[in-house]
Amino acid sequence: MEERRLGPVVGLGTWNTFGDDAELAGEVLGAAVGAGVRLVDSSPMYGGAERALGAALDGRRDDVAVATKIWAQSVGEGREQLRRQLGWFGRVELEQVHNLAAWREHLDWLEREQAEGRIGRIGVTHYDASAFDELAEAMRDRRVECVQLPYNPHERECEERLLPLAEELGLPVIVMRPLGSGSLLRREPPPERLEPLGVYTWAQALLVWALSDPRVDAVIPATRRPERARGNAAAGDGPRFDEEQRRYVAELAA
Ligand SMILES: NC(=O)c1ccc[n+]([C@@H]2O[C@H](COP(=O)([O-])OP(=O)(O)OC[C@H]3O[C@@H](n4cnc5c(N)ncnc54)[C@H](OP(=O)(O)O)[C@@H]3O)[C@@H](O)[C@H]2O)c1
């Protein structure tokens, strides 16, 4: 297995952003990569986003690690998803089982694909805390090398068991929904309240909040706006928050 840690880094999510619009994908990805993003996350579930991403990666494929997913109830359908992904991306650096769909069945064949070099790491994801027992079970599978879970000041259930388990197992953690799927941005604190944090935007404060947990390797905020992709990426460059600053951000988000 390659180096365990992925980061800490800011990546780019692709749910509900550019959809199948390859031109917009190129603009968003170009802005993100220009600002230092080196990880992009997608899924067959994201309505054409993988195809648009594949086109947007033309000429910059070696700059970016592609994390995508198998979202299929059958092995046959999952294999077909990988076949299409290899057409768009050439290789998949991180192949995740989306929302644990048929995860036991998929791990068997994904391990063989990995042995043959078509995929890098294997991971698992789930968005819902009610599935965290099963996610913990999957994390303990020796083939699983990465976990993706929700983590933001309003969704902290992973702190109870999953983050300690990831630490115990040495598993990299990718944070989905670091901005609460946008819900945490609806009511922004005034700029003067961000001053003690040394960040320019509320989104950056939330991203640094997650990255400051030492068990977190990557956050993957999604946006359809190139200027936001740049601003979000900048959160990866600055210092991390101490415990007091993290508490302050959680209070601002309350
Ligand atoms: N089960 C799973 O495996 C799973 C589930 C959920 C998510 N994910 C992955 O995690 C990624 C991130 O999660 P997410 O997309 O649900 O939510 P998110 O990244 O927490 O939030 C995205 C929302 O925030 C807005 N936003 C982004 N940057 C902003 C900024 N700087 N200022 C103001 N608003 C901003 C976006 O709107 P605009 O587009 O208008 O900027 C969008 O509505 C997904 O895209 C996906 O790749 C995986």
Q: What is the pLDDT of residue 1?
A: 34
Q: Is 181 in the pocket of ligand 1 (CB under 6 A)?
A: yes
Pick from 103, 188, 223 the residue to mutate for probing ligand 1's pocket: most ligand atoms within 8 Å of its CB.
223
pLDDT of 196-210, one tens digit each?
Answer: 999 999 999 999 999
Q: What is the pLDDT of residue 238?
A: 78
pLDDT of 98-139, one tens digit each?
Answer: 999 999 999 999 999 999 999 999 999 999 999 999 999 999
Question: What's the average model confidence in pLDDT over 171-198?
Answer: 96
Q: What is the pLDDT of residue 184?
A: 98
Q: Is 106 in the pocket of ligand 1 (CB under 6 A)?
A: no
Q: Is 36 in the pocket of ligand 1 (CB under 6 A)?
A: no
Residue nearest to atom 24 of ligand 1 (CA): 182
Q: What is the pLDDT of residue 2?
A: 45
Q: What is the pLDDT of residue 7?
A: 61
Q: Is residue 227 pLDDT above 90, yes or no?
A: yes
Q: Is 185 in the pocket of ligand 1 (CB under 6 A)?
A: yes
Pick from 127, 185, 206 the residue to mutate for probing ligand 1's pocket: most ligand atoms within 8 Å of its CB.
185
Question: What's the average model confidence in pLDDT over 141-154?
Answer: 98
Q: Could you tell me the pTM of the whole model?
A: 0.97
Q: What is the pLDDT of residue 210?
A: 98
Question: What's the average model confidence in pLDDT over 185-197?
Answer: 94
Q: Is residue 6 pLDDT above 70, yes or no?
A: no
In the chain, the percentage of residues whose pLDDT exceeds 70 is: 97
Rounded to the nearest angstrom, the distance between the alpha carbon of 112 and the centre of ligand 1 is 32
Rounded to the nearest angstrom, the distance between the alpha carbon of 222 and the centre of ligand 1 is 4
Rounded to the nearest angstrom, the distance between the alpha carbon of 15 and the centre of ligand 1 is 7
Q: What is the pLDDT of residue 3?
A: 52
Q: Is residue 4 pLDDT above 60, yes or no?
A: no
* Cβ-based burial of 92 (10 A; exposed 0-12, middle 13-18, buried ≥19): buried
pLDDT of 41-88, one tens digit each?
Answer: 999 999 999 999 999 999 999 999 999 999 999 999 999 999 999 999
Average model confidence (pLDDT) for the chain?
A: 96
Q: What is the pLDDT of residue 5?
A: 59
Rounded to the nearest angstrom, the distance between the alpha carbon of 254 and the centre of ligand 1 is 19
Residue nearest to atom 11 of ligand 1 (CA): 13
- Taking the CA of residue 224 as reference, the ligand 1 atom at the shortest distance is 39
Secondary structure (DSSP) of the chain: ---S---SEE-EE-TTSSTT-HHHHHHHHHHHHHTT--EEE--TTSTTHHHHHHHHTTTTGGG-EEEEEE--SSHHHHHHHHHHHHHHHSSEEEEEEGGGTTHHHHHHHHHHHHHTTSEEEEEEE---GGGHHHHHHHHTSTT--EEEEE-BTTB-GGGTTHHHHHHHHT--EEEE-TTGGGGGGSSPPPGGGTGGGT-SSHHHHHHHHHHTSTT--EE--B-S-HHHHHHHHHTTTSPPP-HHHHHHHHHHH-
Pick from 177, 201, 208 the residue to mutate for probing ligand 1's pocket: most ligand atoms within 8 Å of its CB.
177
